[in-house]
């Protein structure tokens, strides 16, 4: 590609991008990137596309945030999330459209602006549940997250579906970085939860599926955690609605995770003589001594909370709503944040 054509292409795409994203709340100009990997599959692939500009034009709807045009094959790949480097972080120096790896036949990238959270993406008119890239704090790296758009743009920080992903044996560092698959079961990571929850006034919602099939939920205001230097200490406000019952604050100080630091099987920061994370098969959590909520615990596939402490607990549901004569174990969980806008 000669220089004049490249320039024309850049000007064309730049004009185009300004037109489609001029109303974005967090307009952002990207720089160049040399090494990248796309960590998600494209949600759509167009064949026989004539130009990068035509490919970019395909990325104006369907919650598309990145287009990758491969000149050699004339393929146009559309993504919901943005570029990633090998650590899983979005490269902060990505470009709106940049000719990359010319030796492999030029690929040209086009990305839209990046948003602070799922609610901002939802407010652009995007209502597809998927993995998106957000940047809650402009001074910190962006990251990917599954957005619950069905409920209006919530940031999912934890999700369990069937127990395929272990949560119990994960170390402090694993909880710090995050683990699992953003498409299915995962813990977002304490560093990211810290960044997100400190970038505004966030509420948290717990969605919980009982083995009898019913979903329950409970919401709390003022959710945030400190950074690693304070061991991700939890602030969680009052229960503000839902039908699950208040298992966070409702059972007394010895069970209350509020103001507690995070503990894992290899880091005991709880208020008990035991290591709650290990002794209760509880996985990483903000244990006091110990707690009435245990959503990162060893999964119980039969829906029963057994005598060996195997199972996911939300006391007001699992004890009150008995299952097969035993305590129940929660089958599916979602922990999700949403900014309370002034
Ligand atoms: Ca302890």
Measure the CA–CA gap between 153 and 321, rounded to whole angstroms: 30
User: Cα 101 to the chain's mean position, in Å?
Assistant: 30
Q: Is the pLDDT of residue 161 over 90?
A: yes
Class of domain 153-339: alpha beta
- For residue 274, the CA-to-ligand 1 centroid distance in Å is 4
Using 50, 70 and 90 to split pLDDT, how confident is the model at 111? low
Over 60: is that where the pLDDT of 2 sits? no
Residue 304: phi, psi to the nearest 5? -110, 140
260: CA distance to ligand 1 center in Å? Answer: 12
Would you say residue 86 has pLDDT above 80?
no
Would you say the C-alpha torsion 251, 200, 171, 163 has a positive or negative sign? Answer: positive
Mean of pLDDT values over 273-290 = 95
- What is the distance in A from the centroid of ligand 1 to the CA of 238? 26
**In angstroms, what is the span from residue 283 Cα to ligand 1's centroid?**
13
CA distance 249 to 127: 33
CA distance 143 to 85: 11
Distance 131 CA to ligand 1 centre (A): 36
How many A from CA of 200 to the centre of ligand 1?
Answer: 32
Cα–Cα nearest to 146, from 63, 263, 214, 209? 63
CA 129 to chain centroid = 12
Residue 36: predicted pLDDT: 47
> 66 CA distance to ligand 1 centroid (A)?
46
Q: Write out the residue limits of the CATH 3.90.215.10 domain(s) in the chain.
A: 153-339
Per-residue pLDDT tens digits for 241-268:
999 999 999 999 999 999 999 999 999 9
Q: How far, in Å, is the centroid of ligand 1 from the Cα of 261?
A: 11
What's the chain's length in residues?
342
Distance 231 CA to ligand 1 centre (A): 14
CB 187 within 8 A of CB 157: yes
CA of 235 from ligand 1 middle (Å) equals 20
> In the prediction, which pLDDT does 29 show?
29
pLDDT > 70 in the chain, percent:
79
Query: What CA–CA distance (Å, rounded) separates 62 from 296?
Result: 33
The whole-number pLDDT of residue 40 equals 61
Cα–Cα distance, 154 to 137 (Å, whole number): 17
**Ligand 1 centroid distance, CA of 268 (Å):** 5
> How distant is the alpha carbon of residue 340 from its chain centre?
18
Q: What phi and psi, each to the nearest 5 degrees, are found at residue 179?
A: -155, 170
Q: How far is the CA of 209 from the centre of ligand 1 (A)?
A: 29
Q: Please, what is the average pLDDT of the chain?
A: 82
Determine how β-strand 313-314 pairs with β-strand 293-294: antiparallel
Specify the CATH class of 3-111 in words: alpha beta
Quote the ligand 1 centre to 227 CA distance (angstroms).
20
Residue ranges of the chain assigned to CATH 3.50.4.10? 3-111
| Span 206-245, pLDDT tens digits | 999 999 999 999 999 999 999 999 999 999 999 999 999 9
Higher pLDDT, 41 or 170: 170
Q: How far is the CA of 74 from the centre of ligand 1 (A)?
A: 59
Distance from Cα 150 to the centre of ligand 1, integer Å: 39
φ, ψ (nearest 5 deg) of residue 9: -65, -45
For the question of whether the overall pTM of this predicted structure is more than 0.85, the answer is: no
CB 189, CB 196: distance < 8 Å: no
């Amino acid at each position: 590609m000669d220089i004049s054509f490249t320039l024309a292409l850049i000007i064309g795409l730049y004009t185009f991008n300004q037109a489609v994203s001029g109303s974005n709340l967090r307009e952002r100009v990207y720089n160049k990137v040399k090494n990248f990997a796309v960590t998600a599959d494209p949600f759509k692939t167009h064949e026989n596309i004539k130009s990068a500009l035509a490919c970019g034009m395909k990325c104006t709807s369907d919650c598309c945030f990145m287009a990758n045009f491969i000149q050699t094959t004339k393929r146009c790949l559309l993504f919901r999330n943005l570029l990633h480097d090998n650590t899983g972080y979005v490269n902060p120096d990505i470009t709106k459209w940049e000719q990359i790896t010319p030796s492999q036949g030029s690929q040209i990238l086009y990305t839209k602006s990046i948003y602070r959270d799922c609610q901002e993406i939802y407010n652009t008119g995007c209502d597809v549940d998927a993995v998106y890239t957000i940047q809650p704090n402009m001074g910190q790296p962006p990251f990917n997250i599954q957005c619950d758009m069905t409920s209006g743009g919530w940031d999912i920080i934890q999700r369990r579906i069937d127990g395929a992903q272990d949560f119990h044996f994960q170390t402090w560092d694993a909880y710090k970085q995050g683990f699992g698959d953003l498409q299915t079961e995962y813990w977002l990571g304490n560093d990211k939860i810290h960044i997100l929850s400190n970038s505004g006034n966030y509420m948290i919602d717990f969605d919980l599926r009982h083995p009898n099939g019913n979903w329950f939920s409970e919401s709390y205001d003022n959710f945030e955690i400190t950074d690693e230097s304070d061991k991700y200490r939890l602030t969680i406000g009052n229960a503000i609605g839902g039908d699950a019952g208040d298992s966070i604050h409702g059972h007394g100080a010895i069970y209350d995770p509020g103001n507690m630091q995070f503990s894992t099987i290899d880091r005991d920061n709880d208020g008990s003589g035991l290591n709650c994370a290990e002794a209760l098969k509880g996985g990483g959590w903000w244990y006091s001594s110990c707690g009435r909520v245990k959503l990162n615990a060893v999964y119980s596939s039969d829906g029963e909370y057994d005598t060996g402490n195997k199972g996911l607990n939300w006391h007001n549901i699992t004890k009150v709503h008995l299952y097969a004569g035993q305590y129940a174990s929660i089958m599916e969980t979602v922990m999700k944040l949403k900014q309370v806008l002034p």
